[in-house]
Structure 1
Amino acid sequence: MGSDIPFGFGNLGGDLPDPNDPRVQQMMQQLQQMMAQSLSSGPVNWQLAKQLAESELADENIVGPADQAAVSEAVRLADLWLDGVTAWPSGVSATDAWTRKQWISQTEDSWKQLTEPLAAQMGEAMQTLVPEEMSGMLGPMADLMKGVGSALFGAQMGQALAKLAGEVLSSTEVGLPLGKTGVAALLPGNVAAYAEGLELPVEEVRLFVALREAATHRLFTHAPWLRSHLLGALEAYAREIRIDEAAIEEAMSEIDPTDPEAAATMDLSEVFKPEDTEQQKAALARLATTLALITGWVNEVVADAAGERLPTM
């Protein structure tokens, strides 16, 4: 590492940053504001995540009544077809059509469950990175290091959510219901783009996506233990992750605190210990097996339900 001074201050030159230097004072003010906001946000600064994600999705079209009606009809027909291939009744209590931004807001609670255990560990590790010789100058900043981790995870989640929002077709695209229980939701804009890429009629693609959405809701409604089983495996994996504090310090030393986009572009892949523990391997095996079974069941019933009705899919 090129400097022993963390958090970007090494770029100022000298052994220790001068607290009277206007540049240091400006950086400290920005960091204090960022961390004060993040500290009250929990392990992940979700306000920052949503702001960053939505800023990348600023030009999307709204979902109108015609889209809502088309999604509702597709899910209704999909459930009718599924009734003929499975004894489980419908798991859909309502339908919805989302924009990409709505997908982010509607799935936020699920992402919190999935990411906050890991983010909390990183926040605790961040508190250990303030050198003793700087503690007098930084004062309460040492107690606010969790805020740095919260902001970093918020920025990273913002990027990830924006990317996913541009690709997902429904609320269950990642293998488990991310929205409210029983609400079958499609993203008409993404479905239309997907159909265009396949050069297929959007009506057929919408119905196929609705079949997968309705089938997944049916499965999770009548096997309610599946969701907690998946989340339990993810949480078990996260509990065993070890943070490489030296890697965090090195990564932070390369960040310019005056650049608000630096946290979003920081590569966090190097800060986690690369070798999985035995407990993590077991958790991953449970997770992979369960997801494979879910995907297999959905594929099977959707294929049976579609039959010759959707030959192009």
Structure 2
Amino acid sequence: MADDDDREPDFEEILRSLLGAGGDLDPEQLRQLGIDPAAMQAAMRQLQGMQSADGGIAWDLTKRQALHIANQSDLGVTASQRTDLDQAFALATLWLSESTAVSELAVAPRAVTRGEWVEKTLPVWQELAEPVATSIADALTAALSEQTPEDMRELVAGAGKILRSVGGSMFASQLGQVIGELSLEVVSGGDVGIPIMPAGEAAILPQNFADFGRDLEIPVDQLALYIATRELAHARLFRHARWLRLQVITAVTEFARGVRVDTGALEDLASRFDPSNPEELRDALESGALLPQRSPEQDAALHSLENTLATIEGWVDVVTAEATSRLPSAARIAEATRRRRAVGGPAEQALKSLVGLELRPRRMREAAAMWRAVTDAVGIAARDALWDYPDLMPTSEDIDDPSALVARLEALARGETPERDEFDDALAALLDGESGADGGPQEESGDADDESDDPGEGERPA
């Protein structure tokens, strides 16, 4: 019979202690498992700090992490910077009134610090990432449970809330890291391409604006006017087309809900997971290694979203170009801005690692060409009226070939009835069918067999 000192450590007893089942961690037992007791105690304090009271995602971690990164290098906004940007916004507002029919903002645009940008955009980032955070948290719980011996499943099941909270909170912490790093890069509220600022608000981050223009060899006042104009155009569009904001956010969140964690990769990670070294899990989250390849449905959703973003960016490009035509360096600034977006804007890597979504308006030049053709054909007011309702928005086919869209708008401008298409016919048939089903007016055929039993029968319009 083996001595007590030689017996294998009681894994169940250690796990009960680890999961808070009523005991303290025994340093000697940890050493027998090859774990440094000090490192384990530090890891446990970290994990306990990551636990959410309700077992959900600890989004307060996201905020703290993001603000820590943003504020530690935030130089604030000087009075001179605020004055210069206020003047740029004021002149940009006047110029935009000549190049778009979309109304002005109700809230004055302003210069903001990196920390303020984090505070303003955090709710949207949380909304975009929550479906994936929940998926990863659930998958982590399941994977760790499957790696547990059968006779201990009940114990782990009782700790499932804690495990799920820890997994989700690691994701929340990583999201905070990404948002904090974004705060060091974004130049303005609309810089990431999706509407992450509160509706109707526009902003520029002076510190990042200075970094962006440092190597461009462009006069600062011209650069400020261009960026202010572009930011106002972006914010005005989303304020005018209120449905557009919901459409973009919904498209991203629906894509995120379709994300499924690579259970094989997660189980492999769980089987060799060292509680004293949580960095491996963090690295997996940051790299996107836990997210499998996109499904065909997600590819289709991504294609649709890319077209929407290209249509938005193309409009903003055209309106901004028209408004800043007086600037000698406008073309150079526009090209620098497009190049920055084309190689992968600040949002791309963030969303790609977190939700597997790569945002890049690949067809921005084609969309801009379409908007220029529409403007030349029917003018500013008719062009901007296409944003009044979702059904009027140009399609992917219109980006490919805007001639049909231009012809339709020119016919409307002449007061002509547009040519009916398959959609119009289908809609008319649907409305006629509903009218008949509700006992509405019916067309008389003159045949006795077609008489209705409904005493209120009347004529149905052709």
Report the CA distance shift for 1:16/1:32 in structure 2 as closer, same or farther (over 3 A): same
Is the CA contact (8 Å cut-off) linking 2:112 and 2:206 kept in structure 1? yes
> CA 1:88/1:55 → structure 2, altered by over 3 Å: closer, same or farther?
closer
Please say if 1:151 is aligned against 2:169: yes
- Partners of 1:255 and 1:205 lie apart in 2 by 50
State the shift of 1:296 in Å.
0.4
1:48 aligns with 2:66: no
Structure 1 segments, 4+ long, off by >6 Å, are none
**% identity of equivalent residues:** 32
Q: Which residue type is aligned with residue 103 of structure 1?
A: W
Distance in 2 between residues matched to 1:80 and 1:43, nearest whole Å: 48
- Taking a change above 3 Å as real, the CA distance of residues 42 and 233 of structure 1, as seen in their structure-2 partners, is farther
Q: 1:307 aligns with which of 308, 322, 325?
A: 325
Per mean C-alpha deviation after superposition, the further-off stretch among 98-107 and 253-262 is 253-262
Q: How far apart, CA to CA, are the structure 2 residues paired with 1:42 and 1:89?
A: 45
8 A contact 1:34–1:147 mirrored in 2:
no
TM-score (norm 1): 0.84
Report the counterpart of residue 181 of structure 2 in structure 1.
163
- 1:115 maps to which of 114, 119, 129: 129
Summarize deviations over 1:136-182 as a string: whole Å, max 9, x none.
Answer: 55563222222122222122212211221111001111113322222
- Report the secondary structure of 1:270's partner residue: coil
| Structural mapping, 1:134-283, within 5 Å | 134-135=152-153, 138=156, 140-259=158-277, 263-267=281-285, 268-274=287-293, 276-283=294-301
Instruction: Report the Cα distance in structure 2 between the residues aligned to 1:157 and 1:251, rounded to whole angstroms.
Output: 20
- 1: CA distance, partners of 2:112 / 2:128: 21
Which moved further from structure 2: 91-100 or 108-117? Answer: 91-100
Distance 2:83 2:56 in 1: 39
TM-fit CA distance, 1:309: 2.0
1:213 to partner: Cα distance: 0.6
Kept in 2, the 8 Å contact 1:92–1:218? The answer is no
For residues 170-196 of structure 1, what are the alpha-carbon distances to aligned partners after superposition, in whole Å with 9 as ceiling and x for unaligned? Answer: 111111332222221100000011111
1:48 Cα shift? 2.3
Question: Is 142-151 or 213-222 further displaced after alignment?
Answer: 142-151
- Counterpart residue number, 1:9: none
CA contact (8 A) 1:92 1:217 kept: no
Mapped contact 2:55–2:162 kept (Cα < 8 A):
no
More RCO (CA 8 Å, sep 6+):
1
Select the residue among 61, 68, 86 that pairs with 1:72.
86
Answering whether residue 314 of structure 2 is matched by residue 296 of structure 1, we say yes
Q: State the alpha-carbon separation in 2 of the partners of residues 212 and 206 from structure 1.
A: 10
Q: What stretches of structure 2 of length at least 5 have no aligned partner? A: 1-7, 15-24, 334-462
SS at match of 1:94: coil
Return closer, same or farther for 1:120/1:50 CA change in 2, 3 Å cut-off.
Answer: same
TM-superposed CA distance for 1:83, in Å, is 0.7
More deviation in 70-79 or 47-56? 47-56
Aligned residue for 1:63, secondary structure, equals coil
Q: CA deviation at 1:42?
A: 7.1
Structure 1: distance between partners of 2:9 and 2:323: 70
Whole-angstrom distance in 1 between the partners of 2:190 and 2:290: 30
Cα contact 2:133–2:172 (8 A) shared by 1: no
Q: CA deviation at 1:41?
A: 7.5
Question: Aligned partner of 1:74: which letter?
Answer: A
Q: CA RMSD in A?
A: 2.8
* Counterpart residue identity of residue 141, structure 1: A
8 Å CA contact retained: 1:71, 1:95: no
CA contact (8 A) 2:107 2:201 kept: yes
Q: Could you list the per-position Cα deviations for residues 246-290 of structure 1 after superposition, in whole angstroms to 9, with x for gaps in the alignment?
A: 31232345554334655543345221221x223212211111010
Shift of the 246–36 alpha-carbon distance from structure 1 to 2, 3 Å rule, reads farther
> Which deviates more from structure 2 when the two are superposed, residues 255-264 or residues 110-119?
255-264
Alignment equivalent of 1:85, drawn from 94, 99, 104: 99
The equivalent position to 2:111 in structure 1, one of 85, 97, 102, is: 97
User: Matched residue of 2:60: which SS?
Assistant: helix
- SS in structure 2 opposite 1:174? coil
For structure 1, list consecutive stretches of 5 or more residues without a partner in the other structure.
1-12
